Amino acid sequence: MKIAELRAKSAEELKDLVLSLKKEQFNLRMQAATGALENKGRFKIARRTIARAKTLLGETPGAVKAPSAPKAKTEKKAAPEKAKKTVKAKKEKE
- How confident is the model at residue 34, as a pLDDT? 94
Residues 8, 75: Cα–Cα separation, whole Å: 52
User: Which amino acid, 72?
Assistant: A
Which residues form the domain of 41?
1-60
Residue 75 lies in a domain: no
- How confident is the model at residue 48, as a pLDDT? 95
Residue 4 lies in a domain: yes
Into how many domains does the chain fold?
A: 1
**In this structure, how many other beta carbons lie within 10 angstroms of the beta carbon of residue 16?**
13
- How confident is the model at residue 63, as a pLDDT? 54
**With contact defined as beta carbons under 8 Å apart, do 84 and 36 qualify?**
no
Residue 5 lies in a domain: yes
Residues 46, 22: Cα–Cα separation, whole Å: 8
Q: What does pTM read for this prediction? A: 0.61
**With contact defined as beta carbons under 8 Å apart, do 51 and 18 qualify?**
no
Sites in the chain below the pLDDT cut of 70? 60-91, 93-94
